A and B are shown apart, each in its own frame.
Chain A
Amino acid sequence: MSENEGLMCFKCNVPLVPTKTHFSYLKHNFSEEMPRCPVCGQVYISESLVLDRMIPVEQMLEDK
């Protein structure tokens, strides 16, 4: 995603790279690739990802 280009981990001073990340909600687990610091593991989730991907999944799980 172009909006993530250039994002740095401030602690480790390195760019973020797509890395497998695990999520859970209402006892359901899944994983997605997210931009993360290759050194300390800090993750970035953009607002558009929250609105377009996370919230619909949350709603679907709440209806389960």
Chain B
Amino acid sequence: MNASAQKLAFASISTVAESIRRKELSPVELVRASLDRIEALDSKLNSFYTLFRDDVLAAARDAEAEIARGHYRGPLHGIPIGIKDIYECGPTTCGSKSLKDYVAAEDCMAVRKLKQAGALIVGKNATYEFAYGFPTTKSYFKPARNPWNLAYDAGGSSSGSGSSVSAGLVYASMGSCTGGSIRWPAQCCGIVGLKATYGRVSRAGVYPLAWSLDHTGPLARTVKDATLMLQGCAGYDPADPASANVPVQDFSARLGQPIKAMRIGLMRSVYEDNCDPKILGPFNTALGEFERLGARIVDVPSITLTQMQAIEWPALFAETAAIHIDNVRHHGADYNPHAKLFVAYGLLISGACYLMAQRARAQVRDQLLEALAREVDVLILPTVGFPVSPVLDDSPGLSIVAEDFSVYTAIFNFTGFPAIQVPCGFDTDGLPVGLQIAGRPFDEATICQVAHAYEQVTPWHDKHPSL
């Protein structure tokens, strides 16, 4: 691939959008470049299940004509993006053999909004089965590979979204997140993942995993690009019972503003006794960078990893079981073996345990809201506490409910707070490491301000995998 094609593939949405707006770059040209790159590289990555070749080229021609007529819709107009394959939009398999032939009758709300904003849907991205069942090399749908090292997993469950954006196949992709499924693949693939506040983006038409924890949001290569994507899909939708009828912020309004004197709350109790040193090194270096930017790191008392797991997993798997039990009875043989086991696990959780998890959740949420009201402006944590894992050949069983599965993202799912993952370096094996910044509900602009300030003084977002 020549240097100019490479440069175009890894350009930011805002850069490409400006060229489109000025009519210096055609959406058709951009989509062709995206499709060419997918054709050249995706046999190694498995990041797409479905490509909408003809439809997206037709949409690109329409966009070009519309812009030529002087009707430019905004920064997503003419931008090729991907959609996780649990969003209803054409063939929608949820990464499961049981839905291999399902085709959605209509687009879900988030996709409709993105199309209205002018985004061009190139195809459907690979996902862990129903957003939780890790694929293995023996699965019906093969695992998406990590562009930084093809022997490694892309993280999940928005695995194809992470892989394709990191590899420069598309400019962004929509993911979903119940315990960390936007931020974890973003960390594994060295990109940005933005989980907006619970209720900020409609989940109507997105296959549920656990209703009270499910969120949607974008993965992109820069903080600014993530805000542009969120702007394109956020907003109230009465079709989603959890949708929040609140004003939509200008998510990029504070990008570029200094973070001097801002108070960043460090939740040490979550990670300090269990985080792998390969992660801890880059994370601690990043804390120093925030201090150099003039922010203050303030310790915030919080819960432990075990307490986080005790709240997240009973809530998640009880809700998952309620969603999947009927399908598992009828199509259990089509599920990955461990995906079926997780449903069985959810059936073992008692009503009292589920409600106790919900009570503990309310308690933690209130404590953190209090801290955000009085002591700090944002919260910070490593994204996860373990390095990127190799692609699996065999079922991992119920490993994610084991004690050492140190995913620190879940706390912002069960509190519902917005959280953004940004890359903060590489581990000793050359695989990406990330951190997450969370903040007050419906204040995505502030967490993006802090993440952007960090991004601008570090080189990580300019590093791309060579494939």
Same complex: no
Interface residues of B (CB under 8 A from A): none
